[in-house]
Structure 1
Amino acid sequence: MELSRRSFLATSAVATAGFAGCTGDSGDPDPPQQSTGTADWTWDGDVPVDSVVQYHQPSCGCCGEYVDYLERNGIAVSVEERPDFDSFVATKADLGVPESMRSCHTIEFGSYLVEGHVPLSAIERLFDDEAAVAGLAIPGMPQHAPGMGPPSDDPLTVYAFDDEGTRPFDDV
C-alpha cells in the first residue's frame, strides 16, 4: 500500500521540522534537560545483530537517546556523525531511504536499514519474519517513540520500505 499524497506531504513536513530541530543551535550553552522517557521503553526479545552503525548529526539529542536505548538493550552502536545537512541527506539517499520515510537518524542494522525511532519489538519481528524489504521506518519524530518519549496507548505505525515503495509493517 502506498502512502497517499496527503500522508506524504504531512510526513515530509514533520520530517523537515524534525531535521531542523536536530540541526539547529539554540545558542544556549546549557539547554534544559528534558526526560525523554526512553527508560520506559522495555524489551526482552532478541535480534541476530549485536552491533549497528547509526548516522546522525552531532547536535541531535534524541539520536543520542536512541543510541542509549539500543545500548541498554545489549546492542553496541557505532555512531557516524554527519556534520552538515547536505552530507546527512546524501547518506540517506546513498543508503536508499525513501524521502517520505526519513527521520533524524539512519541505522545499518545487519542487512536491513532502520530509519528513525523504531522500537526493538518491530526490528525483532523484521528479523523473525525474514522480511524481503530494505528496512523499516517511523517517519518524522513522533512524540511517543524510543528516544522521543515514553510509550503511549496510541500505536506507532512502522513502515517497511524497498525499491517498490512503502507499506505499513506493524503497529507497536
Structure 2
Amino acid sequence: MSLTRRRFCTFGAGLASIGLAGCLDRSSDEPEVEPDAESDVEGWTWTGSIPVDTAIQYHDSGCGCCVEYVEYLEEHGIDVTIEEVDDLAAVKTELSVPNELRSCHTTVFGDYLVEGHVPLEAVEAVFDNGDDESILGIAIPGMPQHAPGIGPPADEQLQVYSFTVDGETTEHVTV
C-alpha cells in the first residue's frame, strides 16, 4: 500500500483531531493540572499592592494556562471573575488590544487591561504611574516560557509593553 498525499493528509488530520480533543474536550469538573504536577505559579512571589482587589479575565474555555494565571492572581489576594467567551478575538478588538500584543487572555484590573501572563510587579507599576492617562493597558505578547501561569521565574527578564486606545505601543517596564 503506497502512501498517497490524500492518505497522508487524512492520517495527519486524524492525529490532529485526537490531539485537539484532549485539549478542547475538557469537562469543567476535571482538574486542569495533573494532581502530582507542579503548579506553573510556584516561585512567583509578589509583596506589593495595587488599588483593586478584583479583576475580570476573558479567555477561551479549556485553556489551562489561563486558569493557572487566575490561580496566581488569587494566591496574591485578587478575586478573579472568569468570563469564558466563544470569540476572544472579538472581545480583544472591542477592548482595543493591539493585534501585535495579544496573548491567550485579557484581564481587566479597574481601568486597565492586562494582556497575557504579566507579573503583578508590572501591574503595580502601571497603577503607580497612573498619571499617564493615555495608557489603556499593558501586555506581554504571546506566551513566554517563564511567566506566571506558564512556567517558573527565570533569569531572563520579561518585557512588558503599554498600549493606548489608539493602538500605540511602547516598552513599559521589564520585570
Deviates more, 1:40-49 or 1:30-39: 30-39
Q: Post-superposition shift, 1:58?
A: 1.1
What is the total number of aligned residue pairs between the two structures? 146
**1:149 pairs with one of 137, 148, 151:** 151
> Structure 2: how far apart are the matches of 1:51 and 1:39?
21
1:35 positional shift: 3.1
Cα separation, 2, equivalents of 1:146 and 1:39: 8
Residue number among 139, 142, 145 corresponding to 2:141 in the alignment: 139
2:57 to 46, 54, 74: 54
Q: Is the 8 A contact 2:97 2:167 kept in 1?
A: no
1:107/1:114 contact within 8 Å kept: yes
Task: After superposition, give the CA deviation of every residue in 1:132-160 in whole Å (9 maximum; x if it has no partner).
Answer: 30000000000100000000100000000
RMSD between superposed Cα atoms in Å = 1.8
Q: Which has the higher helix share?
A: 1
Q: Within 5 A, what are the aligned runs for 1:23-38?
A: 24-26=20-22, 33=34, 34-38=37-41
The answer for unaligned runs of 5 or more in structure 2 is 1-19
Please list every run of 5 or more consecutive structure 1 residues that lacks an aligned counterpart in the other structure: 1-23
Residue deviations 1:5-32 (CA, integer Å, cap 9, x gap): xxxxxxxxxxxxxxxxxxx433687887
1:30-72 Cα offsets, whole Å, 9 max, x none, are: 8873534312100000000010100001110000000000000
Helix, strand or coil at the partner of 2:146: coil
Calculate the TM-score normalised by the size of structure 2.
Answer: 0.78
1:25–1:59 contact (8 Å) kept in structure 2: no
Letter in 1 for 2:161: Y
Equivalent in the alignment of 2:98? 98
What is the correspondence of 1:118-129 to structure 2 with a 5 Å cutoff? 118-129=118-129
Q: Distance in 1 between matches of 2:46 and 2:109?
A: 17
The code of the aligned residue for 1:128 comes to D
In structure 2, distance between residues paired with 1:49 and 1:140: 25
Q: Is the 8 A contact 2:96 2:167 kept in 1?
A: no
Distance verdict in 2 for CA 1:69–1:32, change over 3 Å:
closer
What secondary structure does 2:21 align onto?
A: coil
Which whole-Å deviations, capped at 9, do the CAs of 1:87-116 have from their partners, x for residues lacking one? 211000000100000000001110000000
Q: What is the percentage of aligned positions where both structures have the same residue?
A: 51
Q: Distance in 2 between matches of 1:103 and 1:54?
A: 12
Distance 1:32 1:111, change over 3 A: closer
Q: Does 1:165 align with 2:168?
A: yes
Give the whole-Å Cα distance in 1 for the aligned partners of 2:152 and 2:162: 23
